[in-house]
């Protein structure tokens, strides 16, 4: 065995001490918490420290992928030009999963031109301000003074123990102002200074300049579709349009999420969608039907069934691999 010989001033030993150590493997670190192994640990008060079972190891690996370090802010853009594709649901559940396992500094942002759905799917309180109000007040953030994350509290809505913030689009049905491409870029310039992960919900108009600007800033595209002909067709057309607009590389690295619109789906259609999007995008993830999602009101990730939360964790882990 060869030992490194320290320099006379101790610098080599000092550098070795400060060098990062490999992280513990999240799939094996610590005793089991779930399954029969976890019950044994609890019943014996830890005297018998069973390791995690296969399912729990898989869950811990997924958490480790979500928690991977980034070297700067990352932007995830959620897309489908067809309404009813579950874009807003996906945006909020990806944000909640990122927030809970990464410890906050996560934003779900509704980048609709005018009215979007995110504002009615979140826990809102304290104010009714939206992205339009933040855009109007951006001069406060561009004046060269020191700005803190708390200065955005009058525009975003904290989502409690889900540990993410939400920025709604304009909710005024009589409003005349819209968010265009330059406006999106101004907002993005500020928001990306304060949040580690931004998950951007988009509208249905692929020709809108704010829609195109979101795609340009994306580190990871997420294409969402229910297992239905209409939303599947919208997602397929979207990918072809993106390729024609010069985003072939982003399409190839995109993640497709297929959601079940009911407890039972057309198995043949599901296979067709998997085959099609599996050839076009990096990965295809399935998430199950959950009655807690379909009501259309404020969405609470803790109200979902455990297997639904696990499916969104796995999907979010797959997304994180591309960031």
Q: Do 92 and 241 belong to one domain?
A: yes
pLDDT tens track for 116-138:
889 889 988 889 999 999 999 98
Q: Do 56 and 166 belong to one domain?
A: no
Q: Do 192 and 75 belong to one domain?
A: yes
Q: Do 53 and 130 belong to one domain?
A: no
Q: Do 175 and 218 belong to one domain?
A: yes
Q: Kindly state the helix (H) or strand (E) to which residue 270 belongs, with its residue range.
A: helix 267-280
Give the CA radius of gyration of the chain: 22
Domain assignment present for residue 173? The answer is yes
Final residue in a domain of this structure, among 37, 66, 95: 66
From start to end of the chain, where are the E strands? 74-79, 106-111, 157-158, 165-167, 197-202, 220-226, 255-259, 283-287
**Which whole-number Å values give the CA distances from 170 to 108, 110, 111, 137, 236, in the listed order?**
15, 9, 10, 14, 29
Spatial separation of the C-alpha atoms in residues 2 and 229, rounded to whole Å: 64
Tally of domains in the chain? 2
pLDDT tens track for 95-108:
999 999 998 899 99
SS3 (DSSP) at 43: helix
Q: Do 139 and 120 belong to one domain?
A: yes
Q: Do 36 and 183 belong to one domain?
A: no
Q: What is the CATH number of the domain that holds 185?
A: 3.40.50.300
Spatial separation of the C-alpha atoms in residues 148 and 150, rounded to whole Å: 5
Q: Among the listed ranges 43-52, 145-154, 221-230, which one has the minimum average pLDDT value?
A: 43-52
4 pLDDT more than 70: no
Domain assignment present for residue 21? The answer is no
The boundaries of the domain holding residue 48 are: 26-66
41 pLDDT more than 70: no
Q: Do 75 and 171 belong to one domain?
A: yes
pLDDT tens track for 15-35:
444 444 444 455 556 765 555
Q: Do 39 and 99 belong to one domain?
A: no
């Amino acid at each position: 065995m060869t030992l490194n010989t320290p320099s006379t001033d101790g610098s080599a030993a000092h550098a070795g001490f400060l060098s990062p150590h490999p992280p513990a493997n999240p799939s094996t670190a610590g005793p089991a918490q779930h399954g029969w192994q976890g019950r044994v640990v609890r019943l014996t008060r830890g005297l018998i420290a069973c390791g995690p079972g296969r399912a729990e190891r898989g869950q811990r690996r997924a958490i480790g992928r979500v928690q991977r370090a980034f070297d700067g802010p990352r932007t995830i853009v959620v897309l489908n030009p067809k309404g009813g594709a579950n874009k807003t649901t996906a945006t909020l559940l990806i944000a909640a999963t990122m927030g809970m396992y990464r410890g906050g500094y996560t934003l779900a942002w509704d980048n609709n031109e005018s009215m979007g759905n995110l504002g009615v799917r979140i826990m809102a309180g304290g104010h009714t301000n939206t992205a339009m109000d933040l855009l109007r007040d951006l001069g406060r953030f561009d004046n060269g003074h020191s700005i803190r994350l708390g200065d955005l509290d009058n525009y975003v809505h904290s989502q409690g123990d889900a540990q993410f913030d939400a920025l709604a689009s304009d909710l005024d049905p009589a409003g005349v102002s819209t968010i265009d491409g330059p406006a999106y870029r101004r907002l993005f310039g500020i928001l990306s200074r304060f949040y580690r992960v931004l998950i951007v919900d988009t509208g249905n108009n692929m020709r809108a300049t704010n829609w195109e600007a979101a795609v340009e800033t994306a580190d990871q595209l997420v294409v969402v579709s229910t297992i239905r002909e209409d939303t599947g067709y919208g997602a397929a057309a979207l990918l072809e349009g993106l390729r024609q607009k010069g985003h072939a590389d982003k399409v190839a690295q995109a993640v497709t999420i297929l959601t079940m619109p009911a407890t039972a789906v057309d198995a043949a259609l599901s296979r067709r969608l998997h085959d099609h999007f599996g050839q076009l995008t990096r990965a295809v993830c399935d998430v199950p039907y959950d009655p807690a999602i379909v009501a259309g009101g404020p969405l609470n990730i803790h109200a979902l069934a455990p297997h639904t939360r696990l499916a969104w964790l796995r999907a979010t882990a797959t997304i994180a691999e591309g960031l």
